[in-house]
Structure 1
Amino acid sequence: MDVCSVKNALRRQQREARDSMNLLTRQKASAAACRHAIEAWEQLRIDRNGEKLTLFSYLSFGSEISTAPLIEHCWSQGDRVLAPRVNPATRTMELREMDQHEDIVPGIWNIPEPALTCEEWLPARWMEIDWVVVPGLAFDRLGGRIGYGGGYYDRFTAQVKAGKHNSACPGPLYVSLLLPGQLLERVPMEPGDLSVDVLFTPDGSLDCDHAKSTNDE
């Protein structure tokens, strides 16, 4: 079986498991994972001498782990919060800055997204982002990820990397929030697939860069 077929089978399996999860279990797991993410976010603020930070996060939909606690925390601290608007024609994402809940509207496939009135961040500013919260169905300790198959975040990451040559900024950290059952032993990866840097689970955080270096030794 080729990698694409293995990925698709894993997507179906993981989506079914997530959809069947008890609502209260999912809510508790979301709150716990976001709590660990918020702790790391505030540590970053300390490291940056208290400056305003920039978060780019998907807006959770359906049975996805909720990103709402993290987004609301950032708003409460005066941070900049960006979210994607999907353009299915070009298969790309627009990044738009939201200031409040009222900026969120139903988008394509009824997935929540920022309103068109929200300010768009063009690629030239993407290196200013501190964290990118990446959605996914399955992950492993090396940062491997199985997304939904659209490739939106893979293409976004490639654009960010291309901009690194013209920027003094270190660029964003790629993080993910995980529900129980989403951390697997290993997920299949292909060249060009996005790997995440940190996983936030209900039990704590996992530094994937450290896992990679440990694995390589």
Structure 2
Amino acid sequence: MDVCSVKNALRLQQREARDFMDPLTRQEASAVACRHAIEAWEQLRIDRNRDRLTVFSYLSFGSEISTTPFIEHCWSRGDRVLAPRVDPVTRTMELRQMGQHDDIVPGIWNIPEPAPTCEKWVPEMWSEIDWVVVPGLAFDRHGGRIGYGGGYYDRFTVQVEAQKRDNGNAGPLYVSLLLPGQLQKQVPMEPGDLRVDVLFTPEGPIHCDIAKSEKTNDE
């Protein structure tokens, strides 16, 4: 079976498992994973000695782990919060800055997104982002990720990396919030697939850069 077929089978399996998860379990896991993310976010604020940070996060929908507690915390600290507006025709994302819940409207397939009136961040600004909170269906300890198959975040990462090279910025850290059962031993990856730097599980954070180096040493 080719990698694409394996990915699609895993997507179907993980979607079903997530959809059938007890809502209270999902809510509690979301709260705990977000709490771990908030602790790391505040440590980043200290490390970088900055009052204001910038995050680009998806807006959770359906049975996804909720990003709301993290986003609300960022708003409470005066941070800049960006979210995607998706163009299904061009298969690209626009990044728009939101300041409150009223800035969120139903988008395509009723997935929440920033209102068209929200300020747009052009690609030249993307390397100023501190964190990108990436959605996904399955992950592994080496940063491997199975997304929804659209490739939006993979293409976004390519543009960010190009900006990093042009202006010398460190660029963002890629992080994900995980529900129980989403951490796999290994997920199939292809060249060009986005790898995540940190996973925030209900049990605590997993730093994938460390895990990657350990894997290399083992080999």
Range class of TM-score, shorter chain? over 0.9
2 CA distance for matches of 1:114 and 1:50?
A: 26
What do the CA deviations read for 1:115-155 (whole angstroms, capped 9, x no partner)? 00000000000000000000000000000000000000000
Q: Give 4+ residue runs of structure 1 displaced > 4 Å after superposition.
A: none
- Residue of structure 2 equivalent to 1:75: 75
* Mapping of residues 19-34 of structure 1, within 5 Å: 19-34=19-34
- Residue of structure 1 equivalent to 2:168: 168
Normalised by the length of structure 2, the TM-score is 0.98
- Residue of structure 1 equivalent to 2:44: 44
Amino acid of the structure 1 residue aligned with 2:143: G
- Residue of structure 1 equivalent to 2:124: 124
Q: Is residue 54 from structure 1 mapped to residue 54 from structure 2 by the alignment?
A: yes
Unaligned runs of 5+ in 1: none
Q: Is residue 183 from structure 1 mapped to residue 186 from structure 2 by the alignment?
A: no
- Residue of structure 2 equivalent to 1:17: 17
Backbone CA RMSD of aligned residues: 0.5
- Residue of structure 2 equivalent to 1:136: 136
Unaligned runs of 5+ in 2: none
CA drift of 1:168 comes to 2.7
- The alignment-based identity, stated in percent, is 78
1 CA distance for matches of 2:163 and 2:57?
A: 20
Residue aligned with 2:141, SS: coil
What do the CA deviations read for 1:151-191 (whole angstroms, capped 9, x no partner)? 00000001101111111320000000000000000000000
Normalised by the length of structure 1, the TM-score is 0.99
1 CA distance for matches of 2:21 and 2:75?
A: 29
- Residue of structure 1 equivalent to 2:205: 205
Amino acid of the structure 2 residue aligned with 1:70: F
Amino acid of the structure 2 residue aligned with 1:54: T
2 CA distance for matches of 1:205 and 1:83?
A: 23
2 CA distance for matches of 1:169 and 1:160?
A: 10
- Residue of structure 1 equivalent to 2:63: 63
Aligned residue pair count: 217
1 CA distance for matches of 2:46 and 2:10?
A: 39
2 CA distance for matches of 1:29 and 1:165?
A: 37
1 CA distance for matches of 2:52 and 2:137?
A: 31
What do the CA deviations read for 1:56-90 (whole angstroms, capped 9, x no partner)? 00000000000000000000000000000000111
1 CA distance for matches of 2:144 and 2:135?
A: 12
- Residue of structure 2 equivalent to 1:84: 84
1 CA distance for matches of 2:133 and 2:149?
A: 17
What do the CA deviations read for 1:14-51 (whole angstroms, capped 9, x no partner)? 00000000000000000000000000000000011132
